[in-house]
Amino acid sequence: MLNKIMRFPGFRSKAFTMSYDDGAVFDERMLDVMNKHGIKGSFNICSGSISDPEQIVKRYAGHEVAVHGREHLALARAVGADAVADILDDRRALEKMFGRVIRGMAYADGSFSDDIVALLKMLGFAYARTTQDTGRFDIPSDWLRLGATCHHTSPRLFEYTENFLSADPNAVYARYPLFFNVWGHSFEFDRMGNWELLDRLCDEIGGREDEIWYATTIEIYDYTKAYGSLIWSADSSIVYNPTLIDIYMEYRRKNVFIPSGKIINISEV
């Protein structure tokens, strides 16, 4: 049996996020619904299509903004120099606009290659989301090829939702942390006339702060990396958290809180 299990902040075992592309005006209506339910998301934006930066900064307050390519190039098919420019120009423009470091990305048209992944790594990107549905709640192992659980048009969306909500974190067979990640474009709700699908999803998932961590992708990435940075003694009696993030975990079925910068003697927990 696994002795050490990552928990999310507050010892929660579930994290939920939404990752939406293109930065269209319909994000505004989507954000109204998400904000009402306390749900956080990552919005992947093409800075080349922004006409009013001030309005954009206001729109995404409290959420993550990430790179989607300045001109939305399909990177795997682009000339190398154009791909580099599309990624870097977008990141520079968004960082300047928002005044923060931006390390997330979603591949435009879901297009990437091993070379693009290597490039993103070199440029210091933390994660990049693909357009591949995994149907799973796993913590990703390769964050530069991050799939989503599903697109919101998946016929299984509410089946996944039900599975996620009903999963018992204390069941011996299901003790890993669960990460539910839905992707799409807000303009699809408008085009398909199904905004009620977003209402239903946020209604079912939202308002459960005691059991679900509503976070952005970069927050979940940073937390997961911090957990992986814990330093353990060989007999697991002492653990050191060298990061700036407070860590929550289970060790031999006991909740252990490891504050940022602290050394914890496990036997005294």
Cβ 127 to Zn ion, closest distance in Å? 16
Closer Cβ to Zn ion, 86 or 250, answer by number: 86
Q: Where are the alpha helices (DSSP H) in the chain?
A: 27-36, 53-59, 80-98, 114-122, 157-166, 186-192, 195-205, 217-228
List of residues 6+ apart from 5 with CB closer than 8 A = 175, 176, 177, 249, 250
Cβ 31 to Zn ion, closest distance in Å? 18
Q: How far apart are CA 269 and CA 267, in angstroms?
A: 6
Residue 67: Cβ within 10 Å count: 30
Interacting positions 108-137 with Zn ion (CB under 5 A): 108
Interacting positions 11-70 with Zn ion (CB under 5 A): 21-22
Closer Cβ to Zn ion, 28 or 209, answer by number: 28
Residue closest to Zn ion (Cβ): 21
Burial class (CB in 10 A: 0-12, 13-18, 19+), 126: buried
Cβ 51 to Zn ion, closest distance in Å? 18
Q: How far apart are CA 182 and CA 148, in angstroms?
A: 6
List of residues 6+ apart from 46 with CB closer than 8 A = 22, 23, 68, 69, 70, 71, 72, 90, 108
Cβ 22 to Zn ion, closest distance in Å? 4
User: Site size for Zn ion, by CB under 5 A?
Assistant: 3
Closer Cβ to Zn ion, 113 or 265, answer by number: 113
List of residues 6+ apart from 159 with CB closer than 8 A = none
Closer Cβ to Zn ion, 22 or 222, answer by number: 22
Cβ 71 to Zn ion, closest distance in Å? 11
Closer Cβ to Zn ion, 6 or 45, answer by number: 45
Interacting positions 79-108 with Zn ion (CB under 5 A): 108
Q: Is 219 in the site for Zn ion (CB under 5 A)?
A: no
Interacting positions 196-215 with Zn ion (CB under 5 A): none
Cβ 269 to Zn ion, closest distance in Å? 46
Residues forming beta bridges with residue 213, ordered by sequence position: 15
Cβ 54 to Zn ion, closest distance in Å? 23
Closer Cβ to Zn ion, 151 or 208, answer by number: 151
Closer Cβ to Zn ion, 7 or 91, answer by number: 91
HSE at residue 88, side-chain half, CA atoms within 13 A, is 12
Q: Which residues bind Zn ion (CB under 5 A)?
A: 21-22, 108
